[in-house]
Amino acid sequence: RKEVEQDPGPFNVPEGATVAFNCTYSNSASQSFFWYRQDCRKEPKLLMSVYSSGNEDGRFTAQLNRASQYISLLIRDSKLSDSATYLCVVNGGGFKTIFGAGTRLFVKA
Amino acid sequence: GAVVSQHPSWVICKSGTSVKIECRSLDFQATTMFWYRQFPKQSLMLMATSNEGSKATYEQGVEKDKFLINHASLTLSTLTVTSAHPEDSSFYICSARGDPTDTQYFGPGTRLTVL
């Protein structure tokens, strides 16, 4: 089992749709969690951190479920510019950072 | 967010030459820097982790004598690909993290093509 698993997609959705991604992690001692966005041929950019209480930033909502060991990202009112690969990142403590393989999203007009 | 720069952004070299890539944290002190490699349509793969002033920790399967990492200061880490071969052609990305945060900020990447 991979340490961090994501559905690779691709998710093809129309503009305005709501889309959700899940990510599961295997290390129950993991301490911090993030979602990054990576555009084609570009570096990953931090989208948001994920807190136990859940957090929201505009159209994006991230949640953490420690009991089930998964994190989620919800995108509301999808825009064309949301098309990218979304990377789930888990910190196991110390220097151990694990990236998921990413979920590809295509938003179409 | 914090800014990390990488230089050069792209490089083309002949097989057998060495290539040095610089990674700088511009507005914070990076106690830890990471080097990743990404092949087309594949996920990021961590190559090594370096802490300022100490030797880098390499991931399994990454040759430390081929990929030389130096993290001489809190704002600069370098990756040298020695005796590069066509199979080393890839997108190399660094990231930096400063205490106390555990957020990684990525450089824009270096696209290496070895002919």
Give pLDDT tens digits for A81-94: 999 999 999 987 66
Residue B47, classed as helix, strand or coil, is: strand
Residue-level pLDDT at A94: 60
Backbone φ and ψ for A103, nearest 5 degrees, come out as -120, 125
Please give the mean pLDDT across all residues of chain B: 91
Residue-level pLDDT at B93: 96
User: Which chain A residue is nearest to residue B41, measuring alpha carbons?
Assistant: A40
Check CB contact under 8 Å for B103 and A34.
yes
Residue written as token pair 């097989």: B15
Check CB contact under 8 Å for B104 and A97.
yes
pLDDT in tens, B49-88: 998 888 899 999 999 999 999 988 889 999 999 999 999 9
Scanning chain B, the segments in alpha helix (DSSP H) are none
Please give the mean pLDDT across all residues of chain A: 91
Check CB contact under 8 Å for A99 and B44.
yes
Nearest to B96 by CA among A59, A43, A56: A43
Which residues are A21's β-sheet partners?
A73
Residue A93 per-residue DSSP state = S
With beta carbons less than 8 A apart as the criterion, state whether A47 and A26 touch.
no
